Amino acid sequence: MLAEVRMEAILAELDKEQAVSVAHLCRVTGASEATIRRDLNELARRGKLNKVHGGALPVREEFQAEEPDMDTKRKLHTPEKMRIARYAAGLITDDDVVYLDAGSTVMYMTDHIRATKATFVTNSVECIQRLPRRGLRTYVLGGVLKPGTLTIIGGEAVERLKKYNFTKAFLGVNGIAVSPGFTTPDPEEAMVKATAAAHARQTWVLADSSKFGAITAATFLPLDGGQIITDRLDDRRYREFTDIKEV
């Protein structure tokens, strides 16, 4: 049996059974244990299944159509977001030109940024209100204001971003999954995020553990397009694609 045909048979069996052992797959395909284990490793690398000890489980990824407003976001996973934000803020140095995206975890960074000569650019109304109070040099993007998340988006914001070169960009995210990568519900907001990352030397995506396995409408970066700071990583498969810091 050809490898691709065998892997299709493995996925079909997994879809039917919802959990399969290596021994069961050997019986179904007639392949050896070593061959099945290689197939499972390859399918896990492609994001088609979760490899576990002795077998495999389905990839449990959930599509999320709606985005909560900023007031709701502040109430979700707050201790985890604060830990992530504190660590991310500690990465900023005096020589940096920093892009701060809109998002509750990025917003919490402003509580932990020490006195610095760094320059900040942001599309977040929350950050616009907080950064100058801390005496930090701040530039604001123009564009359309998205009311629910207090985010500046649109073509004008994208064009303004193209004029900057950032040493570090810190981005929020709604979903992280192997195949689609980093996603957000709003295609216009995705364009802003993608443009900021394209003009940054380093891109950090701030994501509490609830974001893994979630998918929303618009991809703004592939999984290898940004490093991740999170509170906890349960699925080690993600480490095959990018650097991940657990804090």
Domain ranges of the chain: 3-60, 63-246
Contact 183, 177 (CB under 8 A): yes
Supply the pLDDT for residue 119: 98
Contact 146, 174 (CB under 8 A): no
Supply the pLDDT for residue 109: 97
pLDDT in tens, 126-162: 999 999 999 999 999 999 999 888 999 999 999 999 9
pTM: predicted TM-score of the whole model, two decimal places: 0.76
Hey, what CATH topology would domain 63-246 get?
Answer: Rossmann fold (3.40.50)
Supply the pLDDT for residue 66: 65
Q: How many CB atoms lie within 10 A of CB 203?
A: 24
Supply the pLDDT for residue 65: 61
Supply the pLDDT for residue 227: 98
Taking Cα atoms as reference points, which of 169, 186, 203, 182 lies closest to residue 101?
169
Hey, what CATH topology would domain 3-60 get?
Answer: Arc Repressor Mutant, subunit A (1.10.10)
Kindly give the confidence (pLDDT) of every residue in the chain, 247 residues in length, as a single tens digit, with 9 standing for 90 and above.
Answer: 788 999 999 999 888 887 889 999 999 999 999 999 999 988 887 778 878 778 887 766 666 666 666 666 666 689 999 999 999 999 999 999 999 999 899 999 999 999 899 999 999 999 999 999 999 999 999 999 998 889 999 999 999 999 999 999 999 999 998 878 999 999 999 999 999 999 999 999 999 998 998 889 899 999 999 999 999 987 877 888 999 999 9
Contact 99, 131 (CB under 8 A): no
- For residue 93 the two structure tokens come to 């140095």
Q: How many CB atoms lie within 10 A of CB 67?
A: 18
Supply the pLDDT for residue 53: 78
